[in-house]
Amino acid sequence: MSGFRFMEVSMACTSVAAMEDFFTRMLDGKVIFRGTMAGLPFSRMIVAGVTLVFREDPNLPVPPGPGVEYQYNEHLGFRVQSLDTAIAELQAKGAQFVLTPALVREWQQKRDPQTGRFLQTTYIAPPLTRERIDAGEYRHDVAIFVGPDNLWIELNEVYEPADTQWFREATA
């Protein structure tokens, strides 16, 4: 099959207005459509080149929030050129970070003292190898902040060799 391109991420939320405000303020999102769907508010936004659709659900059970950030199974991830810069800019806008590279390093030491790794990878696609990663050719640092409804927003700073280029390059 060919001709498929990613279109959108659609999510339930308790307040479309809160999502619009958050993504406009934090990530320069732009509302392109707003209205009702099945009688409930919805919004379609462009955020970092991705279409996000928020559909209000007054009965939405909100997932765990700060204090249980290890349970961020569902999240939106964005690539950035510099985590330090992105964290500083977002904190100035009021972002509450629950995970930073420093905290990840701390968790790595507590989680697996033998390897020092929080994440144990069992498969690495060629041409990358564990040896190349250990030599510093690939690195992936993350930070996470909280949005409305405890929506986890993950920022990713990825250093990868030219022969992989798996992740879309971040823009300035």
Last residue of a domain, one of 15, 44, 60: 60
Number of domains in the chain: 2
Q: Are residues 34 and 112 in the same domain?
A: no
Q: Are residues 127 and 158 in the same domain?
A: yes
Give the single-character DSSP code of 63.
P
pLDDT tens digits along 61-95: 988 777 765 555 788 999 999 999 999 999 999 99
Q: Are residues 81 and 106 in the same domain?
A: yes
Last residue of a domain, one of 37, 60, 83: 60
Calculate the alpha carbon distances from 155 to 36, 87, 97, 143, 144 in Å. 31, 9, 10, 5, 6
Burial of 60 (0-12, 13-18, 19+ CB in 10 A): middle
The pLDDT value given to residue 43: 98
Q: Are residues 70 and 5 in the same domain?
A: no
pTM score of the predicted model: 0.85
Q: Are residues 83 and 166 in the same domain?
A: yes
* Average of per-residue pLDDT across 15-26: 98
Greatest C-alpha distance within the chain: 55
* Average of per-residue pLDDT across 136-164: 92
Question: Would the pLDDT of 144 be above 70?
Answer: yes
Q: Are residues 66 and 48 in the same domain?
A: no
Q: Are residues 90 and 160 in the same domain?
A: yes
Q: Are residues 135 and 103 in the same domain?
A: yes
Q: Are residues 48 and 67 in the same domain?
A: no
Q: Are residues 84 and 100 in the same domain?
A: yes
Q: Are residues 89 and 143 in the same domain?
A: yes
Q: Which domain holds residue 170?
A: 62-172
As a three-state string, the secondary structure of 73-136 is CCEEEEECCCHHHHHHHHHHCCCCEEECHHHHHHHHHHHCCCCCCCCCCCCCCCCCCHHHHHCC
